[in-house]
Structure 1
């Protein structure tokens, strides 16, 4: 099959592919620029699997498409990770090269600028791909906090785009505002939908309320993807419908207050449920669905079921062409991730009146500003201090980010300074606990396990 960008460049060469604050490119121009990157990659004989820390810049979009045209497997890496975290991810799937602006001491890095210069020769000009080839690899974590590498094929991404379009309609005339980070599946999938369908992306480097409000008002934005927190900020800034045809909300549950405010302004809200393993959203509630069943994430199909429900709730299972075939790392995770052809999401939900309700986004997961924070990852770092006998990380409400992590540790003396020093060197800043509290005896269940809900109750009493 021909690469999607190549097809758009041939069929709609002059249609705007992407617009940023620094300029715009048509599909033909984007293809020509990406082809130069492909030439560089071919001439340098770069490995088949390449990591990149993409920023929401035009240059990153060009390089990502260049990697696709070059037939490389793209490993997207969070730009906020520490060097230790980056090395851990890359080494787990044998990646030797990272395209990044960051300076690392122990990683083989290539600057984005070096790939954007005109090449001296011509590389391979193959414009085709096989549907089952791996296009991208992204890291996610289960409730155990163990990093997992998710391979996503061209077929997975195409099926995801088709599934999205069915529930969240868009076409070649759409203008999709993208302010989510490109290393996330939610943003990367929009990048691919654009070249599959042929619509325009209006790319923002970061979330800026005033600039986004102006763009919605003056640039004819028809679609936008947000997390609940960013929607709340836009509502507070006076968001109105203008030409918006759809606001796709994911990443966390939306509270009733935000939903009511959106509906009062007649905003076309679509709520969704999905993950890296399903190449972004899997099920979507339309405005009509939300009107009847406000807290649901959409109508259930044969590809969705709830396993072993207890009091109506159970683990959400999914299947479909957009679902990954299995983890690349760790391979042993696959044995406990699939059952009878269904992927076990680890999320808890219930089905009522034919609609799916998500009760918990993974049991212990903390979602802060759309970023996933796994308590056990922080706990394992803190437990490296021998003076700490036990610890627990629980979520606390945060007005700006929705949730932030709080750490409670069991020790004979105050170790907050040592803990801060340790986590500064080990984990990304957005994962740092906003509260650190010592206790002589951490709350446990009758069988000796740490009880997170009791720990949180204790913490709430302490901070009041």
Structure 2
């Protein structure tokens, strides 16, 4: 017997096995009225209502439903109410500028756009067939009226979500993930991370990031209480861990740094000896890993992956063989990307690029067949990252693509360069990532001004803020007389980066 895999499987189990258990605790501090605590049965009812309302609007199977929102129970509901009945869910990065959001909504061809009221200005000029502000007024139609949606026969090869990633190009690419790939990523991740029905999960990670890395699905299927955090704040993270008995979270290194910074305010530190934190986005310094164990008392787990791999490729979790090691040695071991997860094959080609092959590698880039063909060659996905595989352990040593990961967010150097170069007093520009203890990397622009220009760092940064999301803008600008190029006129960014990374083992932080 073969039964097609579908994201609805996770919702069905929550409703059947945990109907009266609270599975979501919504963010209390938001403009839209909070959903508060939601049980498994009620969450499933709201997902069905959402699907039924899409039926009433005439939104057919395969049509795209985009949403832009900070973390919220409404956003989480769409992973099931939209995808679970055959439509394609497109969670959009709420930090993007209006122009960036407009491109994504247009590119995916969304016929519905749901948006958080706090982001009304971001979407004000968008023309979409159905543009709906989430909140108390729309809840009645979308979530609270008892209706049954038209049945959809699950197709595990159907696209369930499109997640846009900046990658290294000036325009983002839409990563298509199928029901099968999302199901297997969530189940594999949950297995490796030890997710169980006694857990409580804190959403410090934005849900638009690879669908919360798949933990929205894995946690719901196991009846895990999911505590929604709308905006990252170190002290608030620790307060919610204490208040709700949180046992695990997924986070970017910058979030871990925020928790470490806030820890001295608490005695004892919430979650000590029960919390596990799963970190990705950029490998944090060994010292940070050691501090997580020593100062927070949390288990540190590192994973490596990309939006294109849904994202789980490797996991590095403390092995029993390491229990007797000194904390510094254990932290050093945990600094590697880790070993391939079940079902994932990882290799390195002759050029040192890390390749991946597995069941949750992307189906393709939405409406970009040439980009898909370039990324998936002979059955292997090309990550664009440089590294090694030794003894079954993957170590990322450099980023072959010119992508900067700052606070867990991908920043395209080409995109930033375009924004900087649009200033009339910029003659040349190269954008690189430089190391940061807090953010992993920050964006730096190396700029050659036009003759006679008195352009200042502050003025140029302000100029980029009119065109880019804040996290993409340069944090520092160095003015130079020239940018050294090859004989063919190409910039060698690895040479430009080298002085800033001198003395570090890896060219990612």
TM-score, normalised on structure 1? 0.89
Q: 1:167 to 1:460 in 2, by over 3 A?
A: closer
- Secondary structure of 1:50 counterpart: strand
Picking from 385, 397, 403, the partner of 1:359 is 397
Deviation at 1:203, TM superposition (A): 1.2
Whether 1:177 and 2:202 are equivalent positions in the alignment is yes
Post-superposition Cα deviations, 1:164-217, rounded to whole Å, max 9, x if no partner, equal 133211112221111111211162521111233332211111222223212323
Picking from 81, 86, 106, the partner of 2:126 is 106
Residue number in structure 1 paired with 2:41: 28
Picking from 140, 157, 165, the partner of 2:190 is 165
Deviation at 1:347, TM superposition (A): 0.9
Post-superposition Cα deviations, 1:310-329, rounded to whole Å, max 9, x if no partner, equal 6xxx1111111111122114
Whether 1:237 and 2:252 are equivalent positions in the alignment is no
Deviation at 1:299, TM superposition (A): 2.2
Equivalent pair of 1:327/1:334 in contact (CA under 8 Å): yes
Q: 1:399 to 1:40 in 2, by over 3 A?
A: same
Equivalent pair of 2:185/2:310 in contact (CA under 8 Å): yes
Distance 2:261 2:423 in 1: 43
Deviation at 1:456, TM superposition (A): 4.6
Equivalent pair of 2:164/2:172 in contact (CA under 8 Å): yes
- Secondary structure of 1:389 counterpart: strand
Distance 1:357 1:188 in 2: 21
Distance 2:23 2:476 in 1: 44
Residue number in structure 2 paired with 1:432: 473
- The worse-fitting range, judged by mean Cα deviation, of 24-33 and 12-21 is 12-21
Which segments of 5 or more consecutive residues in structure 1 lack a partner in the other structure? none
Whether 1:279 and 2:279 are equivalent positions in the alignment is no
Equivalent pair of 1:396/1:406 in contact (CA under 8 Å): yes
Which segments of 5 or more consecutive residues in structure 2 lack a partner in the other structure? 29-35, 264-268, 323-329, 503-509
Deviation at 1:381, TM superposition (A): 2.7
- Secondary structure of 1:106 counterpart: coil
- The worse-fitting range, judged by mean Cα deviation, of 18-27 and 239-248 is 239-248
Post-superposition Cα deviations, 1:128-165, rounded to whole Å, max 9, x if no partner, equal 52211211101113334442110111111111012213
Distance 1:188 1:399 in 2: 24
Residue number in structure 2 paired with 1:39: 52
Equivalent pair of 1:306/1:349 in contact (CA under 8 Å): no
How many residue pairs get matched?
Answer: 458
Q: 1:211 to 1:327 in 2, by over 3 A?
A: same
- The worse-fitting range, judged by mean Cα deviation, of 183-192 and 382-391 is 382-391
Residue number in structure 2 paired with 1:246: 276
Distance 1:28 1:122 in 2: 14
Picking from 18, 23, 27, the partner of 1:12 is 18
Deviation at 1:454, TM superposition (A): 4.3
Distance 2:414 2:76 in 1: 34
- The worse-fitting range, judged by mean Cα deviation, of 388-397 and 219-228 is 388-397
Equivalent pair of 2:247/2:276 in contact (CA under 8 Å): yes
Post-superposition Cα deviations, 1:83-103, rounded to whole Å, max 9, x if no partner, equal 211122222232243211323
Equivalent pair of 2:190/2:215 in contact (CA under 8 Å): no
- Secondary structure of 1:296 counterpart: coil
Whether 1:407 and 2:445 are equivalent positions in the alignment is yes
Residue number in structure 2 paired with 1:261: 291
Deviation at 1:28, TM superposition (A): 0.2
Distance 2:335 2:475 in 1: 29
Q: 1:98 to 1:28 in 2, by over 3 A?
A: same
Residue number in structure 1 paired with 2:96: 81
Q: 1:133 to 1:453 in 2, by over 3 A?
A: closer
Equivalent pair of 2:18/2:40 in contact (CA under 8 Å): yes
Q: 1:117 to 1:63 in 2, by over 3 A?
A: farther
RMSD of Structure 2 on Structure 1 (CA): 2.8
Distance 2:443 2:276 in 1: 32
- Secondary structure of 2:466 counterpart: helix
Equivalent pair of 1:137/1:150 in contact (CA under 8 Å): yes
Q: 1:356 to 1:367 in 2, by over 3 A?
A: same
Distance 2:501 2:199 in 1: 46
Picking from 136, 140, 152, the partner of 1:117 is 140
Distance 2:16 2:156 in 1: 20
Residue number in structure 1 paired with 2:505: none
Equivalent pair of 1:37/1:116 in contact (CA under 8 Å): no
Matching of residues 294-373 of structure 1 within 5 Å: 294-300=334-340, 303-309=344-350, 314-373=352-411
Distance 1:348 1:394 in 2: 17
Q: 1:78 to 1:402 in 2, by over 3 A?
A: same
Distance 1:241 1:9 in 2: 28
